[in-house]
Amino acid sequence: MKWGHAVRVRKGTILYAAGVLACGNVLLQVLGFVYRVMLSRFAGAEGLGVYRLVNSVYLVLNAGCLSGVTTACSRLSAACEARGESGRLGAVLQLAFRAFFALSAACAAVVLLCGGSIAANLLGDGRCARAFPYMLLCLALTGVENIFKSLFIGLERVQYTACSEVGEQLIRIFAVSFLLYEYGSGDYGRIAMLIFAGMVCSEVFSALFLTRLFRRNMRYIRFTRPDKELYGQFFGIAAPLSASALIGNMLGSAGSVLLPQRLMAAGLDYEQALSALGVISGMAMPLLLFPVAFVSSVCTALLPAVTAAQAVGEQARVRVLTGRAVTTVGLIGMPATAVLVPLAPQLSELFFRQPLTGGYAALLGAAAVAAYYQMATGSLLNALGLQRWNVATAISAELCQLALLYRWCARPTLGIYGYLLAMFLTGVSAAAVNLAILHRRTAFRLKPFRRFGVPLLCGAAVYLWTRFFAQTFVCRFDNTVTALAAALVSAIILYLLVLRLLGIRLGRYLAHRVENPAVLPLFLW
């Protein structure tokens, strides 16, 4: 965008959809950050570690029951809308609910029958079993809300999902805070149970809210019987993605369970190892992964357009949108992470009252950027019907990460740094493989300097400035909050100046209409 000229935000543009999602996601990230600060104050590092163990089971069940189902629902609803087959939307939604409730019922039976053994033998802490009933109830409600969300995203009604998520997070903060304040004690199993009980309250709101929106705004959708072709399409998408997500989250959860054990092998006692897990997962990751609000918004806004273009055979549009997604991830993810890395020790001390070393922050920041690229490229593969490749890449990356964690975290010289290093290396490898597959299947132009070099230059510029500012000027401010705010504002101004000097007009890039990207000005790359 030229200086002095406003970009008109129109419906049907990436900027409109991404803007709606970003506003919701940024507010959601802020609320989520407040939520984690509250958890750290009430539960402590060890309490967060126990909650993390229970949450690892929840994530496995959520992935197996929902990930493939919601992606299939979003993709097929977008394809049906693009082809003018709105009469099939009800059948898609019906299939999604049937598949989810069948899978969740099977998972609930296993957990209720074997909960004690899972907590004691698999998680290594019998206190976790107290939270399992609330965890299962939370899973059922999450399924209802996420299926409706996937339909709305497929139909590009993104404002509905943003409203529900913000309301859900607000209720979660108040409910969990109240329960922990009134009934929390030194029993960490009880604390984990209360956290999930508060989550149930927020999920009830979200499920009821989205159900109401669907009934009011989607009256034209009729629940019809799915035909054999739709069954094949739905489960052809859902089955490999569910398997991938299930295996990937099982491996990730295995890492959460294995990490304290390997840290104990490196010389830490159980409480120290569990606290290290709590610091990384409950404090450091939420801080350094904050930019995911912006990255995921753009990716989510692009995916229905990619699916629709693929459905009607417009390969030129597919190539353009794929390139935009990759470029945008770098232009947003790298600089945003680069700002947070030098400030992470001060931010951690301010919000969590826990020290966070610069080494933690640097490695986790690098791992975060790799995760953004892996997330975006994996989502693009799913949108293009190449989910089997994404499955293979994701599972291979998780296996490698688990193997590296096992070897490196037991070394006294590495410890928790071995886990962060493994996250970074496997994330970079997975993103590179996904990019190679996308390039081969869509023929989009890689343009290494423009796609990766320019974002790296922007990131390096804001990192060096923020580090210099933090070391030189922060001590001159009487108030820490004021100092950090000044550092963030000055880094944003510098970033915009660097973009201007490089001739990048991000606003016009995103404001270009999704439906007609055939003729691209130079600044669109």
> With the CA atoms of 390, 395, 143 and 138 taken in that order, what torsion angle do they form, in degrees rounded to the nearest 10?
-150
Coil, strand or helix at 21: helix
**pLDDT by residue (tens digit) across 389-426?**
888 898 899 899 989 989 998 888 888 888 889 999 99
Tell me what pLDDT residue 181 has: 82
Tell me what pLDDT residue 200 has: 92
pLDDT at 45 over 50: yes
Tell me what pLDDT residue 234 has: 86
Amino acid identity at 393? T
Of the given ranges (11-25, 60-74, 307-321, 380-394), which has the lowest mean pLDDT?
A: 11-25
Burial class (CB in 10 A: 0-12, 13-18, 19+), 411: middle
Specify whether the backbone of 503 is left (phi greater than 0), alpha (psi in -120 to 50) or beta.
left
**pLDDT by residue (tens digit) across 336-347?**
889 888 888 877
Q: What is the mean pLDDT of the chain?
A: 79
- Among the listed residues 393, 391, 384, 389, the one whose alpha carbon sits nearest the alpha carbon of residue 442: 384
Question: Distance between CA 130 and CA 136 in Å, rounded?
Answer: 12
Tell me what the mean pLDDT of segment 187-201 comes to: 86
Full-model pTM: 0.69
Contact 126, 48 (CB under 8 A): no
State the alpha helices, DSSP H only, in 384-479: 387-408, 416-442, 448, 454-472
**pLDDT by residue (tens digit) across 370-388?**
988 998 898 888 788 887 8
Question: Distance between CA 427 and CA 434 in Å, rounded?
Answer: 11
pLDDT at 459 over 70: yes
Question: Distance between CA 80 and CA 312 in Å, rounded?
Answer: 10
For the ranges 92-101, 271-280, 290-299, 467-476, the one whose mean pLDDT is highest: 92-101
305 vs 334: which has the higher pLDDT = 334
Question: Distance between CA 397 and CA 428 in Å, rounded?
Answer: 9
Q: Which residues pair with 513 in a beta bridge?
A: 13
Confidence of residue 293 (pLDDT cuts 50, 70, 90): low
Confidence of residue 515 (pLDDT cuts 50, 70, 90): very low
Beta carbons within 8 Å of 475's beta carbon, 6+ residues apart = none
Tell me what the mean pLDDT of segment 123-140 comes to: 86
What percent of the chain is modeled with pLDDT above 70? 83
Question: Distance between CA 102 and CA 256 in Å, rounded?
Answer: 28
464 vs 518: which has the higher pLDDT = 464
CB atoms within 10 A of CB 490: 16
pLDDT at 522 over 50: no
Coil, strand or helix at 367: helix
Coil, strand or helix at 330: helix
Domain limits of the chain? 20-447
